Structure 1
């Protein structure tokens, strides 16, 4: 990966292009992108996302940056359903793999439909002129696998670009998280910048 600062600058230039926001030039594919970076640069990426949101929130552009932290969505859902404390106890008694299954079931992550809690939240909170930034992928791994979001999000959000910030490496086909864990699932996404 090239210098992260220059890649983040390229990201900003890319999102300002009208063709990017209209999903032009993608061979009729949905405009989903992955911005990969080294996990140790997470704080730098978070700061830049916050900076971009602040910079473009005044309405000087014809788009709105909408940021969804996948981890925060999961925690908020668990709190709303009254399951957060129960999950902590369940993890102690049954283990992490069982709590992962239980949370995925509660969020309806195994279902390929619009009743999925995370997809519904994103759909219901995205204006028509948005560019969606998805972050928090590393914080919720392996509780939530990013391919489940990208491969199902097209059912409810296909008219605005989506950029997933991924703390690992994306080769255009597979995501490699934390230099050790390879996810060979197919991703409906393009690499945003090299």
Structure 2
């Protein structure tokens, strides 16, 4: 298997490819791709994202979202972000998680990702999957996104594995079924 830098270089080339941008070769399936990497490569992936976001020579229009940052925005809008440490101390982690899960829904995340007029070369890049766990599960979010973002490719940077049927976060947790995506590299 190639190292993470080689895989990231291949990813950069692939997201600019016309066949990828149009979903050619997917047999009318949704254009959702998983870029799986070893969790210990997280910092290299974050650095790569920063480089992509600042690359003025990309032959695609990169729309990049870190799910954890969206989560913080949602918490801020609900006026709970500053209260989280005190709430967890007084009521416990289980209470806090239950409370947050009531408003940090897949729909809330999908709404935060909506943007203006889409272009034919847009690519939606999702990162922060491990950071936002357990408040958002990527397989649930992708179910929501495949309706609202069915016209552009979605790339999920995933710290774990995907075998074509199930995603396994950090290569440790119980697999969650999601069969609509494809491994990108």
After TM superposition, the score normalised by the length of structure 2 is: 0.90
2:113 is the alignment partner of 1:122: yes
After superposition, the Cα gap between the structure-2 partners of 1:125 and 1:72, relative to the gap in structure 1 and judged at 3 Å, is farther
Once the two structures are superposed, the pairs formed by residues 124-143 of structure 1 within 5 Å of their partners are: 124=115, 127-128=118-119, 129-143=121-135
Pairwise CA distance, 1:30: 0.8
After TM superposition, the score normalised by the length of structure 1 is: 0.87
The two structures, once aligned, show a CA RMSD in angstroms of 1.8
Which consecutive residues of structure 2, in runs of 5 or more, have no partner in the other structure?
A: none
Q: Which moved more, 1:19-28 or 1:91-100?
A: 91-100
Aligned to 2:19: 19
Q: Which moved more, 1:76-85 or 1:125-134?
A: 125-134
Contact 1:173 1:187 in 2 (8 A): yes
What is the CA–CA distance in structure 2 between the aligned matches of 1:68 and 1:119, rounded to whole Å?
Answer: 11
Length, aligned pairs only: 184
Which consecutive residues of structure 1, in runs of 5 or more, have no partner in the other structure?
A: 110-115
Partner SS, residue 132 of structure 1 = strand
Pairwise CA distance, 1:175: 1.6
Which of 48, 64, 67 is the matching residue for 1:67?
64
Q: Which runs of 4+ in 1 moved over 3 A?
A: none
What is the CA–CA distance in structure 2 between the aligned matches of 1:99 and 1:127, rounded to whole Å?
Answer: 37
